[in-house]
Structure 1
């Protein structure tokens, strides 16, 4: 794969590598011949985006192992009192990338330069396909303002394939009925994107990708088949996991896997909640400058000119 490059001043930052904990006692791991090898374990960094506290697992780095995804943020969990000021990220542009938003708890308010203005909530999934450029504002939602409660979810950016970088932008919201579910006594899996066995999401994408929300009960083992030529990684939301090779994954860590094998092997001695994502690598140059993700510096300069000339919309109107 072609390595990513950075434009000077890019707001996409890297993060820390954490050593995996080796689990020996009470190991319940499968040892399948086709298991994927762990490449690296990373710990998420705490940052603020606007007034929103975020755990950032990666941002513009490790593209060889996370493409077609390019940035991963967990927002919250934050317990908001009724009537408190919304957590907010003011109007800002995107181009060449598709931020996805998935809510575990609470509600959000989205407004953009495409004339969308709506509330989204628990279980909902949004694709903000910025294409040639669009502006949006994000904040905690009206129901949280009225009643209070937890605000928790994920914003994960999907990189846009080169042929769609300057396509028309679009906004789409999907409900749980658009996704598929797998339920057993030992685990549940929501197939947000892609497919797993007979379970298939109805959400269409510009390139192949998968996104699974998994909950594992205590003393549960799970083998997840993947295309060996695709990237795969997992982020632990809660609990602890044993991985291939006896390594351990803690909450707010992400494990990147090598390509070449199929099965992702997981064991949860005490239960766990996680996301497993990946897809077909785009194998294209990645040039990033803040919210713009393109294939060349000239494209980045074009995005900046388009934004400055008002071609992506008016931030004041979106903030209003």
Structure 2
């Protein structure tokens, strides 16, 4: 019997002046473990007059994980953080009761041709931390655990697995793993996973039980302990998951919470501009009406 319980295709979504590939949430699968949202950004080739400009916008009840393959983004937030994220590093922002941030092309790249490619991920917070104080952590690429194993290259971007622990300060049991290869390889890592698990194919393909799956697909496992497959040559995949929460998580725009009343309060507060401000930024993204 196949261990693949669901196949999710990447879907186009408009986030303003930028198109992304929406992976989660999906109508048949709202979350995988604590992961509630994944966008695949690009790859986008931007001209010297084109830039990423996402004005200040709010979040509650989650942590954001930004991971770039190419390009750079300048992150500014209401905590006072101002930092440029580059490929391989991790920006981990925990919104808690509320944070506001902007994402823009850095000044050094705004008048030149550039390329942007990466993942934007939301991880829901445990119920007891949904109203915590916001925080921010930046982990350099050199700090991410990486190793070679059975003809594959691995990175533990966040969480714990394979007896290793990423320095990204996560708030619940989870894992976010990169696996790359150059030649056809059999992979069997089920013994190292737990909870719910899914696999995203960035490039290349994998084979499982006589079927081949290609780029821009998420494969959701029925049982993470049975995670085994074959990677074709020059393939890059991301395996993510962890322990699901006992309570349902509700999502409205950038707000995630187990309590709908808290989301309604956040919507009102944003409309009345009661959230904290991002220093030196005056514009903002209006609350959408769905």
Query: With structure 1 as the length reference, what TM-score do the two structures score?
Result: 0.81
Specify which structure has the bigger relative contact order, considering alpha-carbon pairs within 8 angstroms and separated by 6 or more residues: 1
1:178 aligns with 2:178: no
Q: Which residue of 2 aligns with 1:75?
A: 41
**Conserved 8 A contact 1:47-1:53:** yes
Structure 2: which 5+ runs fail to align?
284-290
Structure 1: which 5+ runs fail to align?
1-34
1:268 aligns with 2:240: no
Describe the shift of the 1:201–1:57 C-alpha distance in structure 2 as closer, same or farther (beyond 3 A).
same
Cα distance in 2 for partners of 1:152, 1:167 equals 31
Report the CA distance between 1:185 and its aligned residue.
7.0
How many residue pairs get aligned? The number is: 283
- Match for residue 254 of structure 2 among 284, 288, 291: 291
Report the CA distance between 1:270 and its aligned residue.
2.9
**Conserved 8 A contact 1:131-1:164:** yes
Cα distance in 1 for partners of 2:26, 2:148 equals 34
Cα distance in 1 for partners of 2:142, 2:88 equals 10
Question: Cα deviation per residue 1:99-132 (whole Å; 9 max; x = unaligned)?
Answer: 1100111111111111112211111111111111
Cα distance in 1 for partners of 2:84, 2:149 equals 32
Task: Quote the RMSD (CA, aligned, Å).
Answer: 2.3
Q: Which residue of 2 aligns with 1:39?
A: 5
SS of residue paired to 1:194: strand
Report the CA distance between 1:252 and its aligned residue.
0.5
Report the CA distance between 1:247 and its aligned residue.
2.5
Q: Which residue of 2 aligns with 1:132?
A: 97
Report the CA distance between 1:148 and its aligned residue.
3.1
1:54 aligns with 2:20: yes
Report the CA distance between 1:229 and its aligned residue.
5.0
Cα distance in 2 for partners of 1:269, 1:213 equals 15
Question: Cα deviation per residue 1:148-167 (whole Å; 9 max; x = unaligned)?
Answer: 33211000110111111111
Query: With structure 2 as the length reference, what TM-score do the two structures score?
Result: 0.89
